[in-house]
Structure 1
Amino acid sequence: MMVMVSDRGGRWGFVYKTRQRVYKALRRKGMSKSKAAEISNAGRTHAQRSLMARKAARTREARGRKRH
């Protein structure tokens, strides 16, 4: 049985049903509920996630980090 994160909204918080696995993974890494929800909800569609990945790559490049 998979326990669902709240998708009720309002003071109970909100995470899209399709993104709850991501939310739980972020929580396991020690992220706060609000921060994890913000990140998981931001990439709801494939296009949005792709955009975030490109932005992250640009940020890493700008800061001079190398890919392993």
Structure 2
Amino acid sequence: MVSDRGGRAGFVYRTRWDTYRALRRKGMPKSKAARISNAGLFRPGRVRMARKAARTRQRRGR
């Protein structure tokens, strides 16, 4: 279950729960999914991730 409690329960911002669940459905570990979800809380973080994803896709020829 996603938690906004913190501590041993882990922590994911409430507004990012949908993103966290989507990453978990893809088979990502809890810690990594939480790290990515929390990084996208504000717009600059999402923009940074989008640019990184675009570079990755370009490098892989997609």
Q: Which category describes the TM-score, using the shorter chain as reference length? A: 0.7 to 0.9
User: How many residues were matched structurally?
Assistant: 62
Match of 1:54 in 2: 51
| Paired amino acid for 1:38 | R
How high is the TM-score relative to the length of structure 1? 0.76
Match of 1:23 in 2: 20
- Match of 1:27, SS? helix
Identity %: 69
Which string of whole-angstrom CA distances, capped at 9 and with x for unpartnered residues, describes residues 13-65 of structure 1? 0000110000011111111111111111111112210121112212333x242
How high is the TM-score relative to the length of structure 2? 0.83
Long gaps (5+) in structure 2? none
Kindly name which structure, 1 or 2, has the bigger radius of gyration based on alpha carbons: 1
The CA RMSD measured in Å over matched residues stands at 1.6
Task: Give the drift of 1:9.
Answer: 0.9
Q: Using CA pairs below 8 Å that are at least 6 residues apart, which structure has the higher relative contact order?
A: 2
Greater helix share, structure number:
2
Q: Which runs of 4+ in 1 moved over 3 A?
A: none
Distance (whole Å) between structure 2 residues aligned to residue 28 and residue 57 of structure 1: 22
